[in-house]
Amino acid sequence: MHHRTGFTPISFLIFLAILGLIFLAQRYWVRAGFRAIRHIRSPRWSRALRILLTVVAVWLLVAVIDRLFLHFIPRRGPGLWMITAAQLWLIPSTFGYLLIKAVHGIEWLWNAVRRSRAQVPAQMAEPPRRAFFRYAAGLLGTVPLVAAVYGFARERFDFRVRQIEIPIPNLPPALEGLRIVQLSDIHIGDFMPVHEVRRAVAMANQLGADIAFVTGDFITGSRDPLAQCIAELAALKAPLGIWGCNGNHEIYADAEDRSQELFAQHGMRLLRQESAQLSWKGAALNLIGVDYQRQHEPMLVGVESLVRRDMPNILLSHNPNSFYRAAEIGIELSLAGHTHGGQVQVEIVDHRWSPARFITRFISGLYLLPMNSGAKSHLYVNRGIGTIAIPARLGVDPEITLITLKRA
């Protein structure tokens, strides 16, 4: 058995902190709504809007309970749209709340400095400046919601093919030009319907790859249709077969063993702390796959014994942070996912910011680290095709990768 529980004490505390922050944000927005309603002179409209706002607040609470614990809302028709609208609101509105509080903090600091220098009483702050901060807070508070709606409607299913050549140390001449297609982070379920997975698989098949890899997170939670996802992935076409590894959401859903069984039923193979030697045009290739490597534990334990010195090694590991250890033990190429490329990327003054920066320096694309031999180990991080938390992408296209191996 490979069973491991999903939560650690630290991750549970982080989860509680995020829930607390979301609660504070919703409390702020509901109170702001009731304050705005008090300015409406018509008693009939005022009463109707108070009832509507109360219903919306209860609806958000029900949606959170359903999403986290009970899953009693039907995932079709109005029920699905209810869940979608709630998730499009909850996280962006929390960011909006934080931006508003940041503006309020800047305003307080500005006034405190001004009062200390000019001895101006707090009540004598200039009306134009007060208006500026009020409008700035209002504008910034709406930006995350507008961005989320755009990312939901425009970018989340805008699948893009990325092609890249990777030079591999000591690559046999026969493996020159070997073509790999990689999919990752499918997250089939509420916001990734089966027909979109099928479309991604069809796009991958058009690339004519020699081997196909799927690097984890087939689902988000235990109620998602894992069997349907893997049945769709089985339609991938590649002479050297379809191979995969588990992601962290397979741990959360206690679906690691089931994923392996379903892969086998469809003639595919999901590697779990094991390796397989492949032959292509008379040359050999060593493929290694591992379950999700946890941040707080030593990574790739026992994998060193799977590394071959007489042929190139490719590692399938959902977590890109295993790359440090992979380079140390002489793995020439690692393929990962997990980050979704941050799912949201913001460019400010020629600097790109991604929330994935909080968990890794390997956000998306190609990275290099030195091996003990002096050659370079490579990592490619796929942006995935699914979403998590917010059913939207912004500035981060969902990705299907075509990798061509070259001799270094």
**17 and 60, same structural domain?**
yes
Task: Answer for the pair 369, 362: CB distance below 8 angstroms, yes or no.
Answer: no
Query: Of the residues 94, 127, 155, which one is the last residue of a structural domain?
Result: 155
In this prediction, residue 2 carries a pLDDT of: 42
Cα–Cα distances (Å) from 284 to 13, 310, 314, 375, 402, in that order, read 47, 9, 12, 20, 20
Cα gap 41→44, rounded to integer Å = 9
DSSP 222: T
166 and 221: one domain? yes
Q: Return the structure tokens found at 353.
A: 């910011």
Q: What is the DSSP string of 66-126?
A: IIIII--S-SSHHHHHHHHHHHHHHHHHHHHHHHHHHHHHHHHHHHHHHHHHH---GGG--
pLDDT at 407 over 60: yes
Boundary of a domain, candidates 155, 171, 202 = 155
Q: Is residue 2 part of a domain?
A: no
207 pLDDT band (50/70/90 cuts)?
Answer: very high
The CA–CA distances, whole Å, from 173 to 96, 137, 283 equal: 55, 61, 8
- 389: tokens are 């938390």
> Does pLDDT of 3 surpass 50?
no
Average pLDDT over residues 207-223: 95
In this structure, the answer to whether residues 300 and 400 fall within a common structural domain is: yes
Residue 202 sits in which domain range? 160-407
How high is the pLDDT of residue 78?
A: 77
236 shares its domain with 330: yes
Residues 380, 325: Cα–Cα separation, whole Å: 15
* 6-30 average pLDDT score: 82
DSSP letter for each residue of 303-323: GGGG--SSS-EEEE-SSGGGH
Condensed to tens digits (0 to 9), the pLDDT of residues 19-44 reads: 889 999 999 999 999 998 988 888 89
CA 248 to chain centre: 11
* Coil vs helix vs strand at 231: helix
Sequence letter at residue 289: G
Residue 124 has pLDDT above 90, yes or no: no
If asked whether residues 265 and 380 sit together in one domain, one would say yes
- 247 with 125, same domain: the answer is no
In a domain, 6, yes or no: no
Give the CA dihedral 354, 359, 362, 368, nearest 10 degrees.
150
222: buried, middle or exposed (CB in 10 Å: 19+, 13-18, 0-12)? Answer: middle
First-residue to last-residue Cα distance in the chain:
40
- CA dist 380 to 71, 267, 277, Å? 35, 26, 21
Q: What is the dihedral of CA 116, 119, 123, 128, to 10 degrees?
A: -80
Digit-coded pLDDT (tens) for 52-108:
999 999 988 888 888 777 677 777 777 777 888 888 898 899 989 999 999 888 888
Asked whether residue 196 carries a pLDDT value surpassing 70, the answer given is yes
> Is residue 101, in this structure, part of any structural domain at all?
yes
Does 122 have pLDDT greater than 60?
no
* pLDDT at position 4 over 60: no
Q: Sorting pLDDT into bands at 50, 70 and 90, what band is 347? A: low
Name the residue among 81, 127, 86, 136 with its Cα closest to residue 106.
136
Task: Indicate whether 171 and 148 sit together in one domain.
Answer: no
Is the residue at 226 inside a domain? Answer: yes
Q: Where are the beta strands (DSSP E) in 93-245?
A: 160-168, 179-183, 211-215, 242-245
Residue 173 DSSP code: G
How many separate domains does the chain show? 2
Question: Are residue 270 and residue 396 in the same domain, yes or no?
Answer: yes
Distance of CA 269 to the CA centre of its chain: 24
Q: Are residues 112 and 196 in the same domain?
A: no
Locate all alpha helices (DSSP H) within 38-76, ordered by sequence. 43-65
Q: What is the pLDDT of residues 300-319, one digit of tens each?
A: 999 999 999 999 999 999 99
pLDDT category of residue 5 using cuts at 50, 70 and 90: very low
Domain termination residue (choose one: 136, 155, 174): 155
113 and 177 fall within a common domain? no
